[in-house]
């Protein structure tokens, strides 16, 4: 998986985040790989490989954005006179962009039946039903 793929999905085009994205890739790619059935990973079919890469990139981009949105400087309120600015509130702080769920949905057909427990623990998000 390339950092550029994750940056494009997260709409982040600043090289300052490359190391942080690399860290998220290093942390989550083994978890995603474990969750996928071995025969799907070993398949030489290019379409399947592209689908698996696409789903994994969504999961990593979503995890990166969730991590980014939890930064303290983004949670500060500001008041100037009568004007008050509040931080953006997300319906789902674990997956504010929806990319994690979208990625698991793309991978659902190729997931191991027993993969939900480690995947839930590592990504903070369940596999969609």
Domain annotation covers residue 11: yes
Q: Would 112 be classed as within a structural domain?
A: yes
Residue 128 lies in a domain: no
Q: Residue 48: which domain range?
A: 3-123
For residue 36 the two structure tokens come to 């996928």
Question: What's the structural domain count of the chain?
Answer: 1
Asked, for residue 110, whether it belongs to a domain, the answer is yes
For residue 94, give the nearest of 120, 63, 55 by alpha carbon: 63
Is 87 a domain residue? yes
Decide: helix, strand or coil at residue 84.
strand
Do residues 114 and 34 lie in contact, with contact meaning Cβ atoms separated by under 8 Å?
no
* pLDDT in single tens digits along all 129 residues of the chain: 688 999 999 888 888 889 999 999 999 999 999 999 999 999 989 999 999 999 999 999 999 988 887 766 665 666 788 887 766 666 676 788 889 999 999 999 999 887 654 555 455 555 555
- Domain for residue 104, yes or no? yes
Contact 3, 57 (CB under 8 A): no
């Amino acid at each position: 998986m390339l950092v550029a793929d994750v940056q494009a999905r997260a709409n982040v085009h600043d090289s300052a985040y490359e190391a942080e994205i690399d860290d998220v890739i290093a942390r989550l790619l083994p978890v995603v790989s474990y969750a996928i059935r071995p025969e799907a990973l070993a398949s030489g079919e290019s379409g399947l490989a592209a689908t698996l890469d696409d789903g994994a990139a969504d999961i990593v981009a979503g995890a990166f954005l969730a991590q980014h949105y939890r930064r303290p400087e983004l949670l500060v309120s500001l008041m100037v006179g009568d004007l008050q600015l509040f931080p953006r509130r997300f319906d789902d702080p674990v997956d504010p962009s929806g990319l994690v769920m979208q990625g698991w949905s793309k991978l659902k057909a190729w997931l191991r039946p027993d993969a939900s427990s480690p995947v839930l623990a590592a990504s903070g998000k369940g596999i969609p039903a």
